[in-house]
Structure 1
Amino acid sequence: MNPDPSPPAIACIIVAAGRGLRAGGDIPKQYREIGGRSVLARTLSVFLGEAELAQLVVVIGADDADLFAQAIADLPRARLGAAVIGGETRQDSVRAGLQALAAQGFDGIVLVHDAARPFVTGELIRRAIAAVAHVPGAVPALPVTDTIKRTDGQGRVVETPRRETLISVQTPQAFAFAPLLAAHDAAAAGGQHGFTDDAALLEWAGHPVAIFPGDPANVKLTHPQDFAVPPAPSSPLGVRVATGYDVHAFADGDHIWLGGVRIPHERGVLAHSDGDVALHALTDALLGALAEGDIGTHFPPSDPRWKGAASDQFLAFAAERLRLRGGRIDFLDLTIVCEAPRIGPHRDAIRARIAEIAGIRPDQVAIKATTSEAMGFTGRREGLAALATATLRLPETE
């Protein structure tokens, strides 16, 4: 019997050769700073945090070598190769990145991501990799909530497509390497230069493209207002403290998620997402301190996009909202209430994972566990609950 084949190598092309004129500023938008760090550095740091990625290829503008060097100065270089010079269009730049990988004999899965999407998460990257396992291409998609009109170019509406058939797509898009390179080469040879993303090019070449759930926080920085500067660090910082609470009933299953850690258990939980009460409570605590609603405001359970969704993206979203407002987390305190499973053996792993998601140190996270002395729904082993407190600082406004 033949052994299982090795998993395919995975590489990522970060497209950073554009000029970003609509965003304003005197340098390309991928080198502008948000919260004291360049957009490109933020983007790269997320991908470098994914161990599955063997290599990152960054495609830059011909005149941007110095800006690129500054952007990556504090990043690990082991998987970050020399920059590749892009072309006149995004299509040309992606092809240059593909050719650089081909010259190294690469043949596996390739992700293509826009540098100007710095709020991408590790969870979305992992979804992209999983989605392309059995198809030539896969793209993250969001349902369209606005009514879309098609016009004749003279200010007249000629069609109103059914909204339920429309999606908007994001990056990272994932592809089998050989078909994507072949499609790019064929388009270049045939003078086809109008493709705005790689999925469209693969479709043109006759290959099917699948979709997987995108992330509404994974926005592309495009306009000047997207770079709105938060209050200056010298502004007085006010301390805010808020709490969060979540509860889920047990259901059939063989594991639960707590603090982003999968814990084997004789039951699962009944939930629309993955039912991680710890991350849900922490998310509500952060959003409460920001006075920006709660988890249901931003990720409503009625939305099919969040069915089975990993909850790390919810906490990452709340933490990023805080950073964009010039704030920082001082401490996260979490109490988990359940009769089982035992939390102690998983405490350090949960602390580390929460710290990773929120972008803080593990010593800024406390995990406590207790039972309810056989009283109430937790005491009857019908479910579990979590109570969270977030202490943070936020610039004061007049």
Structure 2
Amino acid sequence: MGSTVRRTFILLAIALVFGESYQREIEDANLQGLAGSSDAELIQQSNDFAIHLYKQVSAEARDGNVVVSPFSISACVSLAAMGAGGLTAEEMFGGLRYGKADQKQRVADFYGRLMRQLVNETSIAVANTLYVKEGYTVKRSFHEVATSSFQSEVHEINFAQNEAAAKTINDWVEKRTNNKIKNLIAPDMLDDFTRMVLVNAVYFKGKWTYRFNETNTRPMPFWVSETKSHDVPMMYAKGRFGYRNVEAKGFSVLELSYSGSDTKMLVLLPNERNGLAALEETLPSVNLVELLNRMGKGEVEVYLPKFKIEFSLDLKDVLTTLGMGRMFSNAAEFPDLLESNEPLKISKAVHKAFIEVNEEGTKAAAASGFSAKFRVAKAPTVIKFKADHPFIYALVSQDQGVYFIGRVSNPA
């Protein structure tokens, strides 16, 4: 078996959030959620994966800006895991924080409910597609879970014609991301040994509940270190926002809402200018979904820099560090993907994400509806939330988990 040529397949996870202006009073979303069901545990596990993923990615990015979509990556890897077996399956389910591989049906059912719910969401679109080499047949069991639970399209393609195949895949990606994500896959990633490409795309188009007035945006210092700053366009708004000072962990958090969805943007701001590293260290102890339940509301003056981040990532090292290295090796076991029963491994796992935050909205994830679950803040004075130094942001849905997470080290 050692001399057997391993045929390959590729994972591609892409994510994009796009925002528009929409000024209105905060209203109840009245969404039927998953969090109250037995899926709450899986959402918590997804939060755990998101935090550990962010820690690995941020460490690799050193001091740079970051945006990743744990939701997109998890969906793509979870779909591949449906065809895995043996130790490969155990690693993948463990690395995704689902537990043992015997959770396969539970995870498939969860994604089935999730994808059906997202069909009715106007703010976010999730799409999966499966490209299979011409002449090869996907196993019936995998085809069923891919199309029903993950609502994936399935297409045949000639990978040997790598230029044309890459164009087909990239055209699909561009269409699903409103032409924001281009050239995700390079032709040299494909060849005659490629058997399958799995692609997941997440696209969010959100509208701020409270729009930032452009006339209030002006140059202000952003401190990239304790002693060094430069001027950036700083947005300003004053209104009733979700806010909490997590003093014991050295940061405060602001909640920015969007209209028509239950997704929120959380901005985690260290209390000290140079506090980002300490915040990243303590992040694994922070449950972002639970944090939404513990926000107070009060009158807040918000200073937030405009920023735009494009981020590409080869996921192989990150996923290997998270305990999923076997799927990239010649020991990989994917017996439930193709009828041909060829030995398969993942040759490439690529992630590309884009986020833009401005006065009109956010390219990252959004929502509204925060009614009775919030306590009224007791602070008699106006709270000032001034994001003028490096911070972490996350786009979180109480019902679906963490769509996007990243950091702004330098918005310039």
**TM-score, normalising length: structure 2:** 0.21
Larger strand fraction of residues: 2
Rg larger in structure: 1
**TM-score, normalising length: structure 1:** 0.22
Identify the structure with bigger relative contact order (alpha carbons < 8 Å, sequence gap 6+).
2
